[in-house]
Structure 1
Amino acid sequence: MEIRNNDPGAVQYGNFFNYYQFSDATERVKLLPDADIWLPALIDGESQGDKPYFILDVGCNCGVLTQLMHKYLKERLRRTVKVLGVDIDPRLIQRATAENESPEDVSYACVDVLDDAAFESVKTYMKENDLQKFDAICCYSITMWIHLNHHDQGLRFFLQKLSNLAELLVVEPQPWKCYQKAERRLKKAGEIFPLFLELKWRSDVDLQIQNYLEESLDRRKLFESAPTKWQRKICFYR
């Protein structure tokens, strides 16, 4: 991770090294719903059994929220929860691995989700665990960074790629004012997001994401959390 202009917030991919110093992960966990939202509706006579619940946490940073989410769900689902956390920054993954409190259930890998070669490690994890899909894929506050670096079509591709591998898709979009702040900080540091002015999804980007998931990817929103202090809502789509 390169710190530009001595500003740790001027990053291109959202890979803040001190992210959880200003974004309390425990407050995010309090907004998560109970077990019934995380689990699929059962057909009469069907049982979840003892099958582990598998999660892919995309943009996991140094793993603080990943660890808390694992504990939260393990307690509520009352079954084994397995999490693969991935992030684009190898130093954050190294830190997450070193601070991993549950290595038997939680693992980490350095992956750029939009890089097919890098994403093979996720496919390998799925094969090793005999997964056709993850029970849930979580994208907490990362859609903006995909959007700023890969344009509207890149964000749509990202959502489609993950939707194809998820029973439940959890998305926490950033509002447009966060885009403007990220653009200003990077510009002040002497760099720019070259695609910023070309984005068509702008002031109502969270609604655009919702419409795309519901209308193009045939998902239904089951739950929307109260807003965080950053005015972001965690949305669950099945």
Structure 2
Amino acid sequence: MSTQFGNYSDYSGVAKTPGCATHVLDPRLNIMSTLIPGLFTAKSCLDIGCNAGSVSCQLGFDLDAASVTGVDIDPKLVGQAEKLFALRASRVQPPTSDSERVVDYFPISAVLTHGYRIEPESRSARKTSSASAPSTWPCVSFFSADWVTTNRDITEPYDVILALSVIKWIHLEHHDEGLRIFFAKCASSLKSGGYLIIELQGWNSYEKAVRSNHAPHFEQTFRELKYRPETSFDRLLRDEGLHLCASSDALPRRINVYRKS
């Protein structure tokens, strides 16, 4: 299946858990939480290349992040992410004086029968409404942009930035210089002591990406690239003040965690 930016629908990496399987925590998130306990709890997170929003929603609903921003270059996928948020928000049992909030309390059949309790369009409308408008738990939002080139303002730096199975496509789209810009932007968007998490796509993955049935339009760029994920990324990130502090090879693609000094 060919793709312009690597924007496969319902993609969840080579771990093979479908993004639509909302009842199963993404194994990459399990690995990260094991590497650094409490990594996401009460933290502000940015999910770059969020696809259809599975990881972003799990950070908010299941891992108790304080806020999550998902960004993807494909507006159709961002629309799917908004719908996924609406589905999961509609299944939450609100807290009462006698009980705490319960995630995934109402069955999906209840949403299919009675509709969303939280409509995606309503969330979009609230973004431009007054500060007194009711908020939705958890604080998860999405927008469509190319993170390398967007001028969108960051009001506060993030505690955690995730770049899962996306850097290869950023590299192919924006060349070596664009990769440096991406790493520099991630560093400047992190709080001191914050974490950048990368799911490493090896050079063999680049080779597969430019095949005729995937993204052959990147073949010329691929031939011009000098940086390699296995040999160059750590140095480029150190140059931006991001130092490797944890790593795991438990899944088919290595998970690297870098800390901002």
* TM-score normalised by structure 2 residue count: 0.68
Match of 1:95 among 74, 80, 98: 80
My pick for the range that moved more, 205-214 or 147-156, is 205-214
Query: 1:1-238 maps to which residues of 2 (within 5 A)?
Result: 7=1, 10-20=2-12, 23-24=16-17, 26-34=26-34, 35-36=36-37, 38=39, 52-74=42-64, 81-100=66-85, 101-102=88-89, 103-104=136-137, 105-116=139-150, 119-120=151-152, 123=153, 126-127=154-155, 131=156, 133-166=157-190, 167-186=194-213, 191-202=217-228, 205-214=229-238, 216-229=239-252, 232-238=253-259
Amino acid at match of 1:62: A
Q: Which runs of 5+ in 1 are unaligned?
A: 1-6, 40-50, 75-79
User: Over residues 23-55 of structure 1, what are the superposed CA-to-partner deviations in whole Å (9 max), with x where a residue is unaligned?
Assistant: 31622222123454738xxxxxxxxxxx94210
Contact 1:163–1:217 at 8 Å: present in 2 too?
yes
Per the TM alignment, residue 115 of structure 1 is displaced from its structure 2 partner at its CA by 2.0
Q: 1:32 to 1:190 in 2, by over 3 A?
A: closer
Q: What is the CA–CA distance in structure 1 between the aligned matches of 2:199 and 2:216, rounded to whole Å?
A: 29
Q: 1:152 to 1:192 in 2, by over 3 A?
A: closer
Q: 1:53 to 1:95 in 2, by over 3 A?
A: same
Contact 1:12–1:145 at 8 Å: present in 2 too?
no
Give the root-mean-square deviation of aligned CA atoms.
Answer: 2.4
Amino acid at match of 1:151: H
Q: What is the CA–CA distance in structure 2 between the aligned matches of 1:135 and 1:21, rounded to whole Å?
A: 23
Per the TM alignment, residue 186 of structure 1 is displaced from its structure 2 partner at its CA by 4.7
Partner secondary structure for residue 143 of structure 2 = strand
Corresponding residue for residue 44 of structure 1: none
My pick for the range that moved more, 102-111 or 55-64, is 102-111
Higher helix share: 1
Per the TM alignment, residue 192 of structure 1 is displaced from its structure 2 partner at its CA by 4.1
Larger radius of gyration: 2
Per the TM alignment, residue 14 of structure 1 is displaced from its structure 2 partner at its CA by 1.2
- Aligned residue pairs total 198
Contact 1:170–1:236 at 8 Å: present in 2 too?
yes
Contact 1:186–1:192 at 8 Å: present in 2 too?
no
Per the TM alignment, residue 135 of structure 1 is displaced from its structure 2 partner at its CA by 0.6
Q: What is the CA–CA distance in structure 1 between the aligned matches of 2:51 and 2:237, rounded to whole Å?
A: 25
Contact 1:73–1:81 at 8 Å: present in 2 too?
no
The percentage of aligned residue pairs carrying the same residue is: 30
Q: What is the CA–CA distance in structure 2 between the aligned matches of 1:171 and 1:217, rounded to whole Å?
A: 15
Corresponding residue for residue 42 of structure 1: none
Q: Which runs of 5+ in 2 are unaligned?
A: 20-25, 90-135
Partner secondary structure for residue 139 of structure 1 = strand
Amino acid at match of 1:135: D
Amino acid at match of 1:16: Y
Corresponding residue for residue 102 of structure 2: none
Q: 1:85 to 1:147 in 2, by over 3 A?
A: same
Per the TM alignment, residue 73 of structure 1 is displaced from its structure 2 partner at its CA by 2.8
Partner secondary structure for residue 251 of structure 2 = coil
Per the TM alignment, residue 98 of structure 1 is displaced from its structure 2 partner at its CA by 1.0
